[in-house]
Amino acid sequence: MAMVGLFWITEDCVYVGAEPTGTAPGVRLTKDGVETLGLGQGRVWDWDEVRGIDVADVAVRSAARRLASMAFDSVYAMVTGEGEHPPAFTVRVDTTTDGTVEATVLAAVPGGIHAPDEYDLSRTLLTRLATGATPVEDLLTWRRDRAENASQARDERLALLRRWTTTAA
């Protein structure tokens, strides 16, 4: 797997947010369509049924504020012994068959906080994926071409998002 922006990319599919396990909530994008996962939100749409995909409730902060928030959360967890689950956010799938359907996903990024530029590019990529301007296969091919599971540096993640949001289908 590899994390780029709001996406968790495996060799077979792209998740918005973290890859869910068990009954955890999630949204999976494949070459065939969009699937919501988890208790009470399991649905599937072919790409020709999807008019748009967007997100809401995503924590977005500058790099400095992100580090401060993560440091505070770490200290809080050490003092209280209370660890938190990853923060959740909402994915809205606008379909021709069911209208707009909201699904909950868990953030994959540490602390659940995204930088503004990665967030904006991720939203643009969601729009392009929904319209077919960027096929999911582009993201999957990139992942399959990587031999290791190492995390990408921030500059490389931004470069990938820019490439996927500007290339013609």
pLDDT of residue 137: 96
Strand 50-56 relative to strand 14-16, pairing = unpaired
pTM of the model: 0.84
Q: 161: which 2 tokens?
A: 């998002």
Query: Can you list the alpha helix ranges (DSSP code H) found in 61-145?
Result: 63-80, 116-131, 136-144
Residues of the chain with pLDDT under 50: 62-78, 80
The secondary structure of residue 15, as a DSSP letter, is E
CA atoms of 162 and 154, how far apart (whole Å): 12
Q: Which of 114, 116, 92, 112 has the alpha carbon at shortest distance from 102?
A: 92
Q: Residue 81: its pLDDT value, please?
A: 53
For residue 167, the model assigns a pLDDT of 78
